[in-house]
């Protein structure tokens, strides 16, 4: 298998514990994204946020990635259809659905629903790659699901019978499904692609995909003020959840495999809850601690399974 960096997985160039550390930091950054985008609701239209986030990320990659991209341009030209698909599932579709959802649902709900990503990755891996579901993977998945439900149900699991999801929550689920497809399809990347060059290509392709949505918002008279808060939120999401997190995630998938890497998404509800408490003044209760413990247990079991 090769990741978005394209290094052959037969000789991973980083230890497995470093890869897991990258995946954990990715969960931290994406948890912060939910908080940041939720904080922007009502101030920055979702498609405007998406467009400027990835445009800035593309420009940030340019100094590091222009040369390796040019050196490997023949590979990208040959596999342009694959690159377009990865850009859509991993950036355009994922981000548009996610940001739309965060306009009408809470940051904690989005973080908790993001915990369903490992389930989607396991299912997509089973359907596309025919990867076997081991008892350890199943046990880790169940613990992660229970932990996520404890948070979203405020510690009352009996409320599951009356649980309802709004349109915003459904957008988040669509985003997670798109991300699962992206993660599994990294398997078919050509070997030896430079990681910076690849992300430059994926971000560059995403900009014209997002542009029509952005222009539609402008036509509807939806703008945002260039104040310190709005600019800071866009810059944060462009740098950490975009540039840094995508590099970390792609390398983690290469070394740990899509299923094991997917389990790191169970950390998003935990980190998202903590950040929401710290930054959005939401209260931390006993059931949050129980849920986080269950999520970490599921993470431990899931990450013991390394994709060969």
pLDDT digits (tens, 9 = 90+) for 223-272: 899 999 999 999 999 998 888 888 888 788 778 777 666 666 667 766 77
At 15 the pLDDT is 82
How many percent of the chain have pLDDT more than 90? 23
For 103-150, the pLDDT digits (tens) are 777 666 676 666 667 767 777 777 776 666 677 767 776 776 677 667
Q: Residue 60's Cα: distance from chain center in Å? A: 19
Q: What is the pTM of this model?
A: 0.70
Q: What's the rounded Cα separation, in Å, for the pair 20 and 139? A: 19
Q: Is residue 1 part of a domain?
A: no
C-alpha span between 121 and 216 (Å, rounded): 32
CA atoms lying within 13 Å on the CB side of residue 261: 31
Residues whose CB is less than 8 angstroms from the CB of residue 283 and which lie 6 or more positions away in sequence, other chains included: 277
Look at the chain and report how many structural domains it folds into: 1
pLDDT one-digit tens code per residue, 16-58: 888 888 888 888 887 788 778 777 877 899 889 989 999 999 9
Query: Residue 22: inside a domain, yes or no?
Result: yes
Residue 277 belongs to some domain of the structure: yes
pLDDT at 153: 66
Count H helices and E strands in the chain, helices first.
15, 0
- Asked whether residue 10 is assigned to any structural domain, the reply reads no
In a domain, residue 63? The reply is: yes
CA 240 to chain centre: 12
Answer whether residue 8 is part of any domain.
no
Q: CA distances (Å), 151 to each of 157, 292, 297, in order?
A: 9, 9, 15
Run of H or E residues at 254: helix 245-256
Find the angle CA(276)-CA(279)-CA(282) to the nearest 5 degrees: 50
pLDDT at 67 over 50: yes
- For residue 197, give its domain range: 16-303
């Amino acid at each position: 298998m090769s990741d978005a960096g394209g290094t052959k997985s037969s000789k991973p160039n980083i230890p497995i514990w470093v890869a897991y550390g990258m995946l954990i930091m990715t969960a931290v950054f994406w948890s912060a994204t939910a908080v940041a985008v939720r904080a922007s609701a009502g101030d920055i239209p979702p498609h405007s946020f998406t467009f400027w986030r990835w445009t800035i990320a593309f420009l940030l990659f340019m100094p590091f990635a222009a040369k390796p991209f040019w050196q490997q341009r023949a590979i990208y030209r040959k596999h342009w259809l694959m690159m377009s698909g990865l850009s859509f599932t991993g950036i355009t579709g994922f981000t548009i659905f996610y940001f739309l959802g965060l306009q009408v649902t809470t940051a904690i709900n989005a973080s908790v629903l993001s915990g369903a990503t490992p389930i989607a990755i396991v299912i997509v891996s089973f359907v596309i790659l025919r990867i076997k579901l081991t008892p350890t993977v199943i046990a880790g998945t169940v613990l992660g699901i229970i932990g996520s439900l404890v948070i979203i149900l405020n510690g009352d699991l009996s409320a599951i019978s009356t649980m309802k999801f709004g349109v915003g929550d459904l957008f988040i689920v669509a985003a997670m499904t798109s991300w699962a497809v992206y993660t599994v399809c990294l398997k078919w990347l050509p070997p030896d692609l430079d990681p910076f060059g690849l992300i430059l290509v994926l971000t560059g392709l995403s900009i014209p995909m997002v542009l029509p949505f952005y222009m539609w918002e402008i036509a509807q008279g939806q703008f945002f003020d260039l104040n310190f808060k709005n600019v800071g939120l866009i810059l944060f999401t462009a740098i950490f959840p975009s540039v840094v997190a995508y590099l970390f995630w792609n390398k983690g998938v290469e070394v740990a495999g899509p299923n094991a890497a997917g389990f790191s998404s169970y950390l998003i509800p935990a980190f998202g809850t903590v950040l929401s408490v710290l930054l959005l003044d939401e209260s931390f209760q006993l059931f949050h601690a129980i849920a986080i413990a269950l999520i970490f247990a599921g993470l431990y079991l899931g990450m013991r399974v390394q994709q060969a």
